[in-house]
Amino acid sequence: MNKFLSFFIFPILFLFGCERASDFNGIYNQQINFSKNSPNLTDIDTISRALINLDNKNALKKDLKNLYDSSWVKQVRVKTTHPETVKIDVKEYQPIAVLNEKFYLTQDGNLINPGKVNIKLEIVYLKGSSQEKENLLKVGHQVQSQLNRLSKRISIIQLSSDDTLRITTNDELVIVMNFRNFRDQLDRLEEFISFELISGKIDLIKQMDLRYKKGISVYFLS
């Protein structure tokens, strides 16, 4: 399978006149290839505009820095394939969570702020200290492994200053835990889910509170 999705852009160089067109050394066709991601997060025009100064290394360096600082683009590689075409390979960051509705956490652990996102991303919303982002994801991953049994997906993980952890699923089930002592609570969650799957009442539960040393406080839908 082809690793790249190809798009072709034909900048209208003649708008700048013949002298401006000659600055591009005859290059008028950009072939922009995205690494295989789904979906592509950066629009083609943004990338094309950032690469308008291919013949000017200083300007190109500045334009690429601006592109990296304000978009999902992680890496750009430019190669001339023949006198009238350049091949541009684009690699994007892949978000796995958004922190405090502003910074996006990528697969390689970076926090980026690409600005406005025009597509809906099915990722986890983290609310809390950026210093705890990795631990929050770790806890979320372990809780999600239990929620998979219920066909539920975590949408929000919120950590309060008193270490109260609130995990909300896509269908608004709330799980409350103590962030500093979640191991024992996770075991109780697993046991409770197994029991309620047998009882058939799991879909009637609105909230589970596991902060108690023994047992679970359960709130049912009215």
Q: pTM of the entire structure? A: 0.68
Residue 173 CA to residue 11 CA, distance in Å, equals: 50
Domains and CATH numbers, the chain: 4-92 (no CATH), 96-220 (3.40.50.11690)
* pLDDT 10s digits, 57-84: 888 889 888 888 888 888 888 887 776 7
| Residue located via tokens 């679970």 | 216
* pLDDT 10s digits, 179-221: 988 888 999 999 999 988 878 888 889 999 999 988 899 999 8
CA dihedral 110, 113, 114, 116 (to 10 degrees): 140
Residue 127 CA to residue 100 CA, distance in Å, equals: 5
Angle at 47 between CA 77 and CA 108, to 5 degrees: 60
* pLDDT 10s digits, 33-61: 777 555 678 888 888 888 888 778 888 88
